[in-house]
Amino acid sequence: MGASAQTKLVISGMGCVTPIGIGVATYWENLLAGLCGVGAITRFDASPLPVRIAAEVPNFCPEDYFEKSLIRGTSRFMQYALVAAKEALAQSGLVIAKNPTRIGIVFGSAMGAIAEISSTAQQYLQSKTKKVLPHFIPSTTGNMGAAQAAILFGAKGPSLTVNTACSAGGDAILMASLLLRQDLCDSVLVLGGDSIDCDIAVSSLAQAKALSRANDTPKTASRPFDKKRDGFVIGEGGGALVLEKEAVAVQRGAPILAYLAGCANTMDAYHITAPHPEGEGAARCMRLALAMAGIEPHAIGYINAHGTSTVLGDIAETKAVKQVFGDHVPPMSSTKGATGHLMGAGGLTEIIACIMSFGCDIVPPTLNYTDPDPACDLDYIPLTARKAHITWAMSNALGFGGQNSSVIVVRPGREEN
> Would residue 271 show up in a list of annotated catalytic residues for this protein?
no
CB proximity list for 25: less than 8 A, separation 6 or greater: none
**How far is the C-alpha of 330 from the C-alpha of 333, rounded, in Å?**
10
The catalytic position among 198, 276, 306, 354 is 306
CB-CB neighbours of 270 under 10 Å: 15
Task: Considering the candidates 263, 285, 341, 376, report the single residue annotated as catalytic.
Answer: 341
What separation, in Å, do the N-terminal and C-terminal C-alpha atoms of the chain show? 25
**Strands 300-304, 392-399: parallel, antiparallel or unpaired by DSSP?**
parallel
- Residue 390 phi/psi, 5-degree rounding, is -105, 135
Can you say whether the dihedral through the CA atoms of 294, 179, 320, 258 is positive or negative? positive
* Rounded Cα–Cα distance for residues 307 and 340 (Å): 10
69 CB-side CA count, 13 A:
3
Separation CA 247–CA 8 (nearest Å): 8
CA atoms within 13 A on the CB side of 102: 15
Q: Which residues contact 320 (CB under 8 A, 6 or more apart)?
A: 278, 279, 280, 282, 283, 286
Q: What are the DSSP calls for 235-303, one per residue?
A: BEEEEEEEEEEHHHHHHTT----EEEEEEEEEE--S-SSSPPTT-HHHHHHHHHHHHHHT--GGGEEEE
Identify the active-site residue in 16, 36, 166, 263: 166
As a residue count, the chain comes to: 417
Identify whether 263 is a catalytic site residue. no
Phi, psi (rounded to 5 degrees) for 326? 60, -125
The answer to whether 312 touches 350, Cβ cutoff 8 Å, is no
Q: Is 341 a catalytic residue?
A: yes
The catalytic residues are 166, 306, 341
